[in-house]
Amino acid sequence: MDRLRHRHTIIPAHLLFLIYFEELELELRLGPAYLDYKQRVPFLIPKRTT
């Protein structure tokens, strides 16, 4: 049971890292092209196409 609880802590922490640090680094490195991509593509959950 302890292992399961630990896993639920690590996943949200990793997502916070991605959102704040990796996204910022990509914005700085790739500039306007990445910002355009970021507006068109969802972060975690893909858009459903029909």
Residue 28 lies in a domain: yes
Residue 42 pLDDT exceeds 80: yes
Residue 45 lies in a domain: no
Q: What is the rounded radius of gyration, in angstroms, for the C-alpha atoms of the chain?
A: 15
The tokens for 6 are 């630990």
Residue 49 lies in a domain: no
Q: Specify the pLDDT at position 16.
A: 81
Residue 48 lies in a domain: no
Task: Quick: pLDDT tens for 7-28.
Answer: 566 677 777 877 888 889 999 9
Domain range for residue 31? 2-40
**Number of domains forming the structure of the chain:** 1
Q: In whole angstroms, what is the distance from residue 15 CA to residue 13 CA?
A: 5
Alpha helices in 1-50 (DSSP H): 2-17, 23-30, 32-40
